[in-house]
């Protein structure tokens, strides 16, 4: 990802989810995997709420919809091992 404005648009699109997940003890991050696709990663911190994450398919639908106003599409979501 070379365009700072594009990165900022992804950060803005995912900001509300980052905040919600942080409240439950999770850290949301993302990285490009192709020119127009990103991977969203959710990592658990100590004391994370194990029952607070939605299933993989639901999370991917939520993240895909959130990314619609950006120039990127979701490739996939990586959830913590315990959430699988």
CATH code for the domain in which residue 72 is found: 3.30.300
Per the structure, the complete domain to which residue 72 belongs is given by 4-83
pLDDT of residue 3: 74
| Domain count for the chain | 1
CA 13, CA 27: separation in Å to the nearest integer? 15
Which spans in 24-55 are helix H?
A: none
Strands 37-44, 73-78: pairing kind: parallel
Cα 33 to Cα 9: distance, rounded to the nearest angstrom: 17
Low-confidence stretches of the chain (pLDDT < 70) are 1-2, 82-84
Q: What is the pLDDT of residue 82?
A: 67
Residue 83 and residue 54: Cα distance in Å, rounded? 9
């Amino acid at each position: 990802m070379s365009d700072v404005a594009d990165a900022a648009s992804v950060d803005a699109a995912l900001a509300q989810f980052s905040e919600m997940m942080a409240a439950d003890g999770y850290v949301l991050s993302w990285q490009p995997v192709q020119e127009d696709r990103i991977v969203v990663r959710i990592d658990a911190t100590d004391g994370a709420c194990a029952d607070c994450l939605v299933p993989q398919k639901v999370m991917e639908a939520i993240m895909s919809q959130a990314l619609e106003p950006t120039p990127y599409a979701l490739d996939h979501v990586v959830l913590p091992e315990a959430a699988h």
